């Protein structure tokens, strides 16, 4: 049996938020939301690049997205079995529940291996452990998998027959989109990403997420060339550094700092040097999950701007009364300074409308505002995990060819393209001080150059003004 811990960021959650594996107990973020799944078949629109393969995503209350996959070959008298799975960049494996699964939630579609003429059982037992407390076990097999108009043969899968913990998943299984196993050099199978691009060698080695909320265009997972014209306000992606992805299968980018706009409140990572701190971009997590020291620093600045705030200890989030008229104009933007491939910083801004979730109290009907920021754990794999809330603001590109992640402002974001933001509370004063410091520094340099290249004149003047001591007499002191 091999034990896997590739599901660090999975917060599948109609009602769950991230909790670390070490915590042992899943966090449950109960927002009293009504399920409104979004269906629909994949479709192509004019202007989509020829090597772009979109597939539609269903949406459960903006806290979980799912995609339909078909398992099995074209067998006589047998249809392919269809499953709704979570496309998860925080894990590597593809699994569906087996017909004999114990403790699997009711209503899920179960996989019957006897009805798949292409299935080949391998027999290895695999254990999954996810961040929300879910533990699953099952046997491995190879089969054909279709997603949208793309198909792969001999894909390694797991049919889960044991769930050791209750889960809040609203889908049948998980489609791991992490880019490789740590043991990709051997073994009986590859990740779905590895198989997809090996069997489709002309397909550009990248995929992208376009996540939307209720009442908007349907969310999409796009394999191959991204569809920027239809999904983004910007004409190109801005990519973060990929240094942290050289030794892990996680999708990580480099963050210089995180803070609130125009407040001076900012958390930096000086111990990380020019690499910055790693952040996981996780389509399987609902919220932004921050290590305790980061969360405590940021939430203190945000808390005093609301009234009636309550710390939900079990969920590790903050719930407050919404401002009158739900006016969030006095709430700062969240500023994420990312380090690009040239060691320069670029800011990704999130407006309050994007990171503040609204919920209705089932008892008194009062509307509450919940910042989609959760206090994580010191044991989580990276200091920051940016989940679906973040990815709804940015059309996000996962580039396997260059091991990097790119961001472009979503066309549904309330902020303009190339939005500018800063944590400086007094940016003009700070720039003025910087400018005067530069003038002072340059003046010092010019003075040193003058002294260096004009020593004779200075020496001569000094000699003329100094008293003569050549007579050998000691001058009176």
- Read off the pLDDT of residues 81-93 as tens digits, 9 standing for 90 and up: 999 999 999 988 9
Which SS3 state, helix, strand or coil, does residue 452 take?
helix
pLDDT at 252: 96
pLDDT at 339: 96
C-alpha span between 1 and 8 (Å, rounded): 20
The tokens for 72 are 């099995």
The mean-pLDDT minimum among 103-107, 167-171, 199-203, 386-390 falls in 167-171
Which SS3 state, helix, strand or coil, does residue 382 take?
coil
The mean pLDDT of the chain is 81
Q: Is residue 105 part of a domain?
A: yes
pLDDT at 476: 41
Q: Is the pLDDT of residue 343 over 80?
A: yes
pLDDT at 438: 61
pLDDT at 45: 53
- Higher pLDDT residue, 316 or 23? 316
Residue 166: which pLDDT band, with cuts at 50, 70 and 90?
low
Residue 249: which pLDDT band, with cuts at 50, 70 and 90?
confident
In contact, 121 and 159? CB cutoff 8 Å: no
- Higher pLDDT residue, 349 or 178? 349
Average pLDDT over residues 426-443: 57
DSSP H helices in 276-319 = 292-303
Which sign does the torsion angle of CA 70, 393, 313, 337 carry? Answer: positive
pLDDT at 47: 61
To which residue do tokens 């060691």 refer?
A: 343
For 261-281, write each residue's pLDDT tens digit.
999 999 999 999 889 999 999
In contact, 287 and 374? CB cutoff 8 Å: yes
Domain extent, residue 183, equals 2-43+50-409
Q: Residues near 469 by Cβ (< 8 Å), separated by ≥ 6? A: 475
Q: Is the pLDDT of residue 8 over 70?
A: no
Average pLDDT over residues 411-433: 76
In contact, 3 and 129? CB cutoff 8 Å: yes
pLDDT at 461: 46
| Residue 414 main-chain phi, psi, to 5 deg | -70, -15
The mean-pLDDT minimum among 48-57, 174-183, 395-404, 457-466 falls in 457-466
| Domains: count for the chain | 1
Q: Is residue 462 part of a domain?
A: no
- Residues of the chain with pLDDT > 90, as a percent, come to 54
DSSP letter at 107?
T
pLDDT at 105: 78
In contact, 7 and 90? CB cutoff 8 Å: yes
DSSP H helices in 304-426 = 352-355, 388-391
Q: Is the pLDDT of residue 103 over 90?
A: no
The tokens for 239 are 């990519």
Average pLDDT over residues 170-198: 75
Q: Is residue 300 part of a domain?
A: yes
CATH number at residue 99: 2.40.70.10
- Residues of the chain with pLDDT > 70, as a percent, come to 78
In contact, 285 and 380? CB cutoff 8 Å: no
In contact, 174 and 86? CB cutoff 8 Å: yes
pLDDT at 306: 94
pLDDT at 22: 30
Strand 2-7 and strand 120-130: pairing? Answer: parallel
Q: Is residue 450 part of a domain?
A: no
Q: Is the pLDDT of residue 240 over 70?
A: yes
Residue 462: which pLDDT band, with cuts at 50, 70 and 90?
very low
Q: Is the pLDDT of residue 469 over 70?
A: no
C-alpha span between 146 and 200 (Å, rounded): 13
pLDDT at 163: 83
Which sign does the torsion angle of CA 421, 426, 432, 438 carry? Answer: negative
Average pLDDT over residues 317-339: 93
Which of 67-71, 163-167, 446-450 tops mean pLDDT? 67-71
- Higher pLDDT residue, 285 or 25? 285
In contact, 109 and 159? CB cutoff 8 Å: no
Partner residues linked to 102 by β-bridges: 162
In contact, 119 and 142? CB cutoff 8 Å: yes
Which SS3 state, helix, strand or coil, does residue 231 take?
helix
Q: Is the pLDDT of residue 464 over 90?
A: no
Q: Is residue 335 part of a domain?
A: yes
In angstroms, what CA-CA distances link 171 with 37, 91, 159, 367? 11, 16, 14, 28
C-alpha span between 462 and 469 (Å, rounded): 14
Q: pTM for this one? A: 0.80
Q: Is residue 60 part of a domain?
A: yes
- Higher pLDDT residue, 101 or 414? 414
C-alpha span between 83 and 31 (Å, rounded): 26
Q: Residues near 103 by Cβ (< 8 Å), separated by ≥ 6? A: 162, 163, 164, 166
In contact, 239 and 341? CB cutoff 8 Å: yes
pLDDT at 157: 94
Q: Is residue 435 part of a domain?
A: no
Q: Is residue 461 part of a domain?
A: no
Residue 285 CB coordination number (10 Å): 32
Q: Is the pLDDT of residue 352 over 60?
A: yes
pLDDT at 214: 76
């Amino acid at each position: 049996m091999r034990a896997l811990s590739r599901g660090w960021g999975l917060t599948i959650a109609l009602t769950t938020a991230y909790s670390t594996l070490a915590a042992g107990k899943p966090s449950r973020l109960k927002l009293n939301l009504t399920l409104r799944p979004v269906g629909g078949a994949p479709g192509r629109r004019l202007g989509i690049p020829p090597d772009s393969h979109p597939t539609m995503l269903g949406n459960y209350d903006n806290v979980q997205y799912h995609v339909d996959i078909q398992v099995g070959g074209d067998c006589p008298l047998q249809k392919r079995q269809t499953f709704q799975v979570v496309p998860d960049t925080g894990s590597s494996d593809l699994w569906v529940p087996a017909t004999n699964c114990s403790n699997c939630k009711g209503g899920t579609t179960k996989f019957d291996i006897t009805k798949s003429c292409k299935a080949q059982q391998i027999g290895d037992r695999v254990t999954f452990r996810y961040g929300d407390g879910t533990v699953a076990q099952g046997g491995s097999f190879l089969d054909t998998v279709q997603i949208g108009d793309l198909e792969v043969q001999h894909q390694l899968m797991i049919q889960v027959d044991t769930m050791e913990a209750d889960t809040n998943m609203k889908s049948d299984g998980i489609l791991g989109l992490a880019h490789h196993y740590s043991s990709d050099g051997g073994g009986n199978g590859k990740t779905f990403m590895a198989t997809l691009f090996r069997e489709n060698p002309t397909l550009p080695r990248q995929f992208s997420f376009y996540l939307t909320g209720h009442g908007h265009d349907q969310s999409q997972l796009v394999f191959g060339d991204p569809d920027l014209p239809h999904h983004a306000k910007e004409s190109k992606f801005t990519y973060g550094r990929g240094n942290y992805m050289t030794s892990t299968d996680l999708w990580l980018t480099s963050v210089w700092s995180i803070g609130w706009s125009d407040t001076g409140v900012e958390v930096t990572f000086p111990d990380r040097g020019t690499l910055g701190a790693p952040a996981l971009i996780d389509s399987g997590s609902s919220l932004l999950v921050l290590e305790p020291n980061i969360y405590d620093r940021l939430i203190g600045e945000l808390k005093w701007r609301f009234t009636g705030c309550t710390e939900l200890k079990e969920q590790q989030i903050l719930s407050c009364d919404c401002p009158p008229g739900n006016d969030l104009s006095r709430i700062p933007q969240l500023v994420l300074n990312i380090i690009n491939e040239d060691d320069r910083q670029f800011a990704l801004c999130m407006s309050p409308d994007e990171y503040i979730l609204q919920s209705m109290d089932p008892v008194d009907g009062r509307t509450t505002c919940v910042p989609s920021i959760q206090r994580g754990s010191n044991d989580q794999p990276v200091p920051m995990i940016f989940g679906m809330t973040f990815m709804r603001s940015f059309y996000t590109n996962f580039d396997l060819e260059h091991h990097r992640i790119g961001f472009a402002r979503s066309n549904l974001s309330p902020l303009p393209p190339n939005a500018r933001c800063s944590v400086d509370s007094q940016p003009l004063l700070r720039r003025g001080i910087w400018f005067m410091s530069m003038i002072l520094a340059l003046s010092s340099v010019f003075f040193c150059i003058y002294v260096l290249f004009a020593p004779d004149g200075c020496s001569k003047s000094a000699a003329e003004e100094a008293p003569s001591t050549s007579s050998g007499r000691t001058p009176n002191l």
